[in-house]
Amino acid sequence: MNRLWCSLSQILRRCRAPAAPQRLLHWCSSSVPRVTPALLRHPASTVLRWQFCWYHDPRKVAAAAAISLSAAVMATCDREVVPCTNRSHLVVLSPQKERDLGESLFAEEMAKHRHKTVDPCHSDSVRVRLIAERIIHAANRGLGVYDNRDAPMLRVTRKGNKPWAPQPHTRHLHGLNGSWELVLARHDNATVGSAPGGKIIVFTGLLDWYKTDGEIAFALAHEVGHLIARHQAVIMSRLWLPAILRRSFLHRSMEIEADRIGTLLLGAAGFHPRNALAFIGKATEIVGDHTLRKEILEADHPHPKRRLWHLSDTNTLEEALELYREATTMDKVTQKYFVNPTM
């Protein structure tokens, strides 16, 4: 009887042994390796965890690859700090490639207006060029291009005195003294355009709407603000974004930033910062009211009312007034002691 019971027990054990692999194979896919006795020694939960690791899902693998690629790009590219706003952003293009891009963009624009350019000796051309020279000189001095120890725009807008904080990026502005180029073209548009490398085109419609030098100075300072912040280089590195996202989140924020830098440039050049508010106030009359559809889907620029709100809501005007008082005081001292009144 005992022999019979032992034989029956051995038969039952042999019959139950394959049951464990069958239960495991019920949860496993066809790509799972052959179940071995060593694998059976692990609990079922361990096998299932190995079975459903993230790298078995193609979507998760693609997401991980995209994140790794983005991290590699950010590691190899410099993160720059925008002067005056202290905003950190990623710029892929080098300063030289940015200037080459500006040359090609400016050449394309000039080809459209080749027969509409105003003579450089015309009074309007001379007037606009002299205003632009004041703005460019204020930018070079205010951002330390002439002398790193004399940078009033950076001093006024510096947030704290932390030696380890990243410094504003101005390397792309060095060496532009002979590259600045301004052209006045006949067109009804009251606009100014710019391209990297110091290329600026002004349309005569601007002079029809804005009569004072201070208002014209803000239009030019706004465009110089785009060049200081390297906005065109950033746009070229974001062309993969849908157009509606570029307009809504990229172009409009850049216009607000250029307004702030332009207002500071006004003060540093000796123009009263209130000219910025006057310019944008007249722009409200030109643009009119935006429909909701145009505001969301079509407009590259924020509505002038929003631009006015941003300028009035920040301490930009106070900082610009400090630069304005310093610039006008310097002009008075220069005129008193260094200008020959007989000349």
- With contact defined as beta carbons under 8 Å apart, do 327 and 270 qualify? yes
> What is the Cα–Cα distance from 209 to 55, expressed in whole angstroms?
62
Q: Which helix (H) or strand (E) holds 341?
A: none
Confidence of residue 239 (pLDDT cuts 50, 70, 90): confident
Confidence of residue 225 (pLDDT cuts 50, 70, 90): very high
Rg of the chain over CA atoms, in angstroms?
A: 33
- With contact defined as beta carbons under 8 Å apart, do 210 and 190 qualify? yes
Confidence of residue 9 (pLDDT cuts 50, 70, 90): low
- Helical segments of the chain, H only: 2-16, 19-27, 37-40, 44-51, 58-76, 95-112, 123-142, 152-157, 204-209, 213-228, 231-236, 243-245, 252-268, 274-287, 292-293, 304-313, 316-337
The type of residue at 199 is: K
pTM for this model (two decimals) = 0.75
pLDDT tens digits, one per residue of 167-213: 889 989 988 877 899 999 999 988 999 999 999 999 999 999 999 99
Site of tokens 């032992």: 6
pLDDT tens digits, one per residue of 29-68: 444 445 455 544 555 555 445 455 655 677 766 767 766 6
- The mean-pLDDT minimum among 108-117, 250-259, 296-305 falls in 296-305
Per-residue model confidence (pLDDT) at position 296: 57
